[in-house]
Chain A
Amino acid sequence: MNSFWAVFKREVKSYFTTPVAYVFLVVFLFFSGYLTFKQGFFEIRQADMYAFFTNMPLLFVFLVPATAMRLWAEERRVGSIELLLTLPITASQAVLGKFCAAWFFLAIALALTFPMVITVSYLGDPDVGLIITGYLGSLLMAGGFLAVGCFFSAVSKNQVISFVLSVVACGVLVFAGMPTTLNYLSTFSPAGLVAAVENMSFQGHFESIQKGVLKFEDLSYFVLLIIAWVTAGMIILEERKAS
């Protein structure tokens, strides 16, 4: 357990000692605000954060892989992985330590969007439950994207390659659930397949949490997705660490 915390602490610190954290936070906070107001936050005339949360999948598709790409690719390129994995740390402690550190960082980024909550509360009387589930859904989704990004970061030594691969994978996971994709699919495939694709995607699960409905299937979808990708990351890392 101590080794896990050591990795976690080091990783969180390293986000803030390099410009990565600041660049990420500025870009994320700017776009999360910009998109919300551009898409008619005032025109809707409702004191809720729907417009804010709807953009999260799109933002995360690009920004989460950007935080995840360095996790292992950097470590392998510089060779520090040989240090890390010859210290008394198991591969799972190392992978989980890094994953949780990056997730914690994303949680900080989400927490820093608090002015949005203040704005909405000032303008009206929002449903607090909805805001909380919205944040919970975003955090779970960030974890899902991060697990995908973490896996692809272990796949390649090159950060650009791991970034591109994880953007594509995350994109597929989001856009598979978009109505346009599903409509197109339903023109030639059986209903069962369309439903399966819809259920595999982030979109539906995220929307249902965001609407304030905490269903076991939605929560377990994200939890299983994270466990599966993180485990796959551990396996691939074990395989490729020395190459």
Chain B
Amino acid sequence: MISVRELRRNFGAIVAVDGVSFDVEKGQVLGFLGPNGAGKSTVMRILTCFLAPDSGTATICGYDILKKPIQVRRSLGYLAENVPAYDEMTVGGFLNFVCDVRQLFGKKRKQALDRIVPMCSIESVYHQTIETLSKGYRRRVGLAQALIHDPEVLILDEPTDGLDPNQKHEVRGLINKMAKDKCIIVSTHILEEVEAVCSRMIIISRGRILVDSTPEKLKQEHRCSLDEVFRKITKSKVA
């Protein structure tokens, strides 16, 4: 469902993404790992058509990100790293705006809201303005925004960052629940999260893919915890 071919992107002299290619199928949850500044967010921003790649391309649900950006954006849900939202709006107003843009009207909108609000447990803050929310609630509103149209592809940039352990557990449960009929990319640097939700992992550093495997395989190969595997790989190959 996602197919990425030789993506490259520079910011001035800095090479952010340097020839990244991979495929993700339906039913897979891909963990996207790497040290800070490895290029994870840039890849995600390219896939969501926010940034244009310098070269290379990708297709999502069969739509090319360069030729059909609107169809691509229609078929995916995206939670960006800093959870952008309109602070002065209420949670309800914000979700209704997203429904407007995603063309969910009437009955469909009601169904979508009835499904998503309890799913992300944001009933209690539904009438509050977003600027008054705690980090955890804000992130859940961001998740609700990404899931409201029940997309086939989900791209989540550090979805559990800033959540307390209970909330983390809930979000992971949510991802696991959706995993079988969606195609999900999750970026994170929390390794226990990878073990908890991901069926496959890619480690990226300095814009290049270093490893593309499953968490179990990696642990077997290196005979140590994922933590150590991550350190070994990112340190040895970069240095």
Contact = CB atoms under 8 A, between A and B. Distances in A.
Contact of A87 (B45, B87, B101): B101
Interface in B32-53: 45, 48-51
Given A86-B78, A88-B73, A78 B51 contact: no
A59 interface: no
B112 to A, nearest CB: 15
B227 interface: no
Contacts of B97: 6, 9-10
Given A10-B97, A89-B101, A80 B48 contact: no
Nearest to B80: A82
B88 A18 contact: yes
Contact of B74 (A6, A17, A88, A241): A88
Contacts of B88: 14, 17-18
A191 B49 CA distance: 51
Contacts of B84: 78-83
Contact of B50 (A14, A80, A86): A86
Nearest to B45: A242
Residue with the highest number of chain A CB atoms closer than 10 Å, among B49, B50, B74, B88: B50
Contact of B103 (A2, A78, A79, A83): A2
Nearest to A6: B100
B115 interface: no
B50 A85 contact: yes
Interface residues of B, number: 27
B105 to A, nearest CB: 9
A215 interface: no
A26 B73 CA distance: 41
Contacts of B51: 242
Interface string A96-117: 0000000000000000000000
A79 B97 CA distance: 17
A88 B69 CA distance: 8
A5 interface: yes
Contact of A86 (B49, B86, B100): B49
Contacts of B87: 78
A17 B89 contact: yes
B98 interface: yes
Given A9-B97, A86-B49, A87-B73, 14 more contacts: A2-B101, A3-B100, A6-B97, A10-B86, A14-B89, A17-B89, A82-B50, A82-B80, A82-B82, A83-B80, A87-B101, A241-B50, A242-B50, A242-B51
16 contacts: A6-B100, A10-B86, A10-B89, A13-B93, A18-B88, A78-B84, A79-B82, A86-B48, A86-B80, A87-B102, A88-B70, A88-B71, A89-B73, A89-B101, A90-B70, A242-B50
Interface of A: 2-3, 5-7, 9-10, 13-14, 17-18, 78-83, 85-90, 241-242
